[in-house]
Chain A
Amino acid sequence: MRPRDNILVGAVITAAFVVLVVGTLWLVRGGLQGGYPMYVRLPWGSGIKQGQTVFLTGVDVGFVSAVDLRTDGTLVVEMRIRKQFRIPEGTTASIEPNGFFGDVDVALRPSRPTTSYIPPRDTVPAGKPAPTMAQLLARADSASTRLGDVARVVQVEMVQGGGIADLRKTLESANALVVQLSGIAAAQSRYLDRTMRSLSRTVSAIDSATVDSAVKNLKTTTANMSDLTNNLERATSQLDAVLVKVDSGGGTVGKFVNDPAVYNNLQAVLARLDSLTADLRRNPKRYINVHIF
């Protein structure tokens, strides 16, 4: 027996023993720092088991260290929370699914930010559980059933009732219409191109000096028109004043227009003038006496 063999074998076995103990404890307890226990009471069938993660608002704060099955329909779940984390007052614990295959986590959700905490070894109230995979699958099953019903109706209406044939005809008509519209658009485009070319030619033919002169003439004409308009406005206002005066019966014209006596007098004058004219025709000598010398 050589001492070197003893040392080597002893070292290997001791190291293996230490690795075995430490590794097992690490896997079982989730680390060598123990943390403190917290409890939550959950209903049967929660799918929780030892080793599952405990999240506090999404942060990994510990793990499930033990699950105790009670005959009253509940599971008492012991959680190990790492020492640097504390559970705020008002927090509820619920089970939430993790992935598609039934794995779950414990989710701790504080109701509000607070500086008071639930003491270690206390029980966190159970919250409303998130929908389980079975519930989600049932919902998906119901949705797929409804989808099947819709598909059946579509099959009846579209296939058996000839809906697809009608749709196809409509699409063909629409296609023909689109072709026609495309032709029209192409023709219009050609006309528009031609017009644009002509316009371009015309525009390019205009002499800028002529345009300048025309613009100056146009400005002068506009100024004259402005003066004319002002004169017209003045004349109109004067005419308005005259008409107002006439309308109110002021002045000779007003009286002439508005006074019935003037009219009657004028009628009488005209009647006398008529009789005078008639008398003059009949007896011109009464009025015309020509004396020579």
Chain B
Amino acid sequence: MTATALPEGGAFRRAWDVIARPILEFFNGVGARGYFLREILRALGEPGTYLPEVVKQMRAIGVDSLPLASLVAAFIGSVIALQTRYQLFPGIQLSVIGLIARQMVILELGPLLTGLVLAGRVGAQMTAEIGTMRVTEQIDALETLAFDPVAYLVVPRIIAGLIMLPVLTVYADVIGIGFSFLTSVIVTDVHTFDFRAGLRLGFSQFQVFYSLLKALMFGGAISFLCSYEGYVTGAGAEGVGRSTARAVVIASIWILVLDALTAAVLAPYLQA
């Protein structure tokens, strides 16, 4: 890469390695992903190429991930209910448990854990699939056959990710709250009425919108970042492995970053 070509010299080279190279690599990475995004936007103009693949990817990303996302949400809901109940000191009304379970599941843990789980399961799968196609020159073959590889491989995954992660988050929210309710009523001394009263207390539709907005961003981030890492994979099977691990890490970090940014920007509108 010309942008990171190293000048000659001892101390200067070390300073270059320590300070300037990471910065340049960062800008290089951002620029490369920017170009990739431009390619994706361009490829949206070829629906005949990507639409037939969208449903297939929606099944792989969404339907096949439903059991795992549901399992995680169920356990998280139960743990929230138990932890909240046993941390309450006497005098606090038990309806707080319903309120806390709803707020934690809908606003935070539902979309976040679904995103992280999918980053591990689906993100790795995307990177490995596209990366393998790259190292086995199938992508080059597609180009030879006048198929746009971005439209054929990346766009369906991004569309599927953008659609299916909110769908999975809806299930995760409902299952998380449902198991929180069941755990509270069956295992602890919380009454149905208490939980229901807390569940409805100070609820607004914006909370659901906030949850789905986060899921939408996480879905886009997972599919975009993991597709990119697979698309630029090199150096054989080892490179595919490295790209897969790197994709999962980057996607997970970006999910957390986006989560924090969303909370910082939209949290004031969530005040009950």
Chain A interface residues toward B at CB < 8 A? 1-2, 5-6, 8-9, 12-13, 16-17, 19-20, 23-24, 27-28, 30, 49-53, 60, 63, 98-101, 103
Q: Which of B156-191 contact A (CB under 8 A)?
A: 163-164, 166-168, 170-171, 173-174
Q: A12-B167, A24-B208, A99-B91 are in contact. Are A5 and B55 (CB under 8 A)?
A: yes
One of B52, B170, B202 near A20 (C-beta < 8 A):
B170
Q: For residue B95, which residues in chain A have a CB less than 8 angstroms away from its CB?
A: 103
Residues A16 and B171 in contact in the complex (CB < 8 Å), given A9-B58, A50-B202, A63-B200: yes
Q: Which residues of A contact B163 (CB under 8 A)?
A: 13
Nearest 9 A-B pairs (CB), nearest first?
A: A99-B93, A16-B167, A16-B170, A51-B201, A27-B203, A9-B58, A5-B59, A51-B200, A100-B91
* B203-A28 in contact (CB<8A): yes
- Nearest residue (CB) in B for A105 is B197
Give every chain B residue within 8 A of A23 (Cβ-Cβ): 170, 173-174, 208
Residue of A nearest to B166 (CB): A16
Chain B interface helix/strand/loop/mixed:
helix
Out of A1, A53, A60, A63, name the residue touching B55 (CB < 8 Å): A1
Measured in the bound complex, the distance between the Cα atoms of B55 and A82 in whole Å is 43
In contact, B92 and A51 (Cβ under 8 angstroms):
no
Q: Which residues of A contact B63 (CB under 8 A)?
A: 8-9, 12
A19–B53 CA distance with the chains assembled, in angstroms: 26
Residues of B within 8 A of A17 (CB): 170
Shortest Cβ distance from B89 into A: residue: A100
* Cross-chain pairs A/B with CB under 8 angstroms, 26 sampled: A1-B52, A1-B53, A1-B55, A1-B56, A5-B55, A5-B56, A8-B63, A9-B55, A12-B62, A12-B167, A19-B170, A19-B174, A20-B170, A23-B173, A23-B208, A27-B102, A27-B199, A49-B202, A50-B202, A50-B204, A51-B201, A51-B203, A53-B197, A60-B193, A99-B91, A103-B201
Report A-chain residues with C-beta under 8 Å of the C-beta of B171. 16, 19
* Residue in A closest to B56 when the chains form the complex, CB atoms: A5
* Min CB–CB distance B80 → chain A (angstroms): 17
Question: Is B66 on the interface with A (CB-CB < 8 A)?
Answer: yes
Q: Which interface residue of B167, B168, B174 has the most chain A CB atoms within 10 A?
A: B167
In the complex, chain B residues whose CB is within 8 Å of the CB of A2: 56
Chain B interface residues (CB < 8 Å from chain A)? 52-53, 55-56, 58-59, 62-63, 66, 91-93, 95, 102, 163-164, 166-168, 170-171, 173-174, 193, 197, 199-205, 208, 212, 272
Q: Is the CB of A49 within 8 A of B66?
A: no
Name the residue among B174, B197, B202, B205 with the largest chain A CB count within 10 angstroms: B197
A27 CA to B174 CA in the complex, in Å? 12
Q: Which residues of B contact A12 (CB under 8 A)?
A: 62-63, 66, 167
What distance in Å separates the Cβ of B260 from its nearest Cβ neighbour in chain A? 25
Given contacts A8-B63, A51-B202, A98-B93, list 8 more A-B pairs with CB under 8 A: A5-B55, A9-B59, A9-B62, A12-B66, A13-B62, A13-B167, A23-B173, A60-B193
Beyond A49-B272, A51-B200, A51-B203, whether A20 also contacts B208 by CB under 8 A is: yes
Distance (whole angstroms) from the CB of B180 to the closest CB of chain A: 14
* Minimal Cβ-Cβ distance residue in B for A20: B170
Write the nearest CB–CB distance from B190 to chain A, whole angstroms.
14
In the complex, A6 Cα to B62 Cα: how many Å? 12
- The answer on a CB contact under 8 Å between B55 and A99 is no
Interchain CA distance A218-B23 in the complex, whole Å: 131
Q: How distant is the Cα of A24 from the Cα of B212 in the complex, in angstroms? A: 12
Chain B positions within 8 Å of A1 at CB level: 52-53, 55-56
Residues of chain B within 8 A (CB-CB) of A20 are 170, 208, 212
A51 to B200, CA, bound (A): 5
Q: In the complex, how many angstroms separate the beta carbon of A251 from the nearest chain B beta carbon?
A: 105
- Min CB–CB distance A21 → chain B (angstroms): 10
* Complex-state Cα separation, A5 to B55, whole angstroms: 7
Tell me the smallest distance from the CB of A280 to a CB of chain B, in Å.
129
Q: How far is the CB of A187 from chain B (nearest CB, A)?
A: 54
B167 to chain A, nearest CB (A): 4
Chain B residues contacting A98 (CB-CB under 8 Å) are 93
CA of A63 to CA of B198 in the docked complex: distance in angstroms? 12
CA distance A9 to B225 in the complex (A): 23
Q: Complex Cα distance A24/B201, Å? A: 13
**Whole-angstrom CA separation of A2 from B63 in the bound complex:** 14
Please report the C-alpha to C-alpha distance between residue A23 and residue B200 in the assembled complex, in whole angstroms: 11
Q: Of residues A16, A17, A98, A100, which shows the largest number of chain B Cβ atoms within 10 Å of its Cβ?
A: A16
* Cα A191 to Cα B180 with chains together (Å): 75
**Known: A12-B167, A19-B174. Is A50-B203 also a contact (CB below 8 A)?**
yes
- By the criterion CB–CB under 8 Å, are A28 and B205 in contact? yes
Contacting residues, chain B, for A5 (C-beta < 8 A): 55-56, 58-59
Interface core residue of B62, B199, B201, B205 (most chain A CB under 10 Å): B201
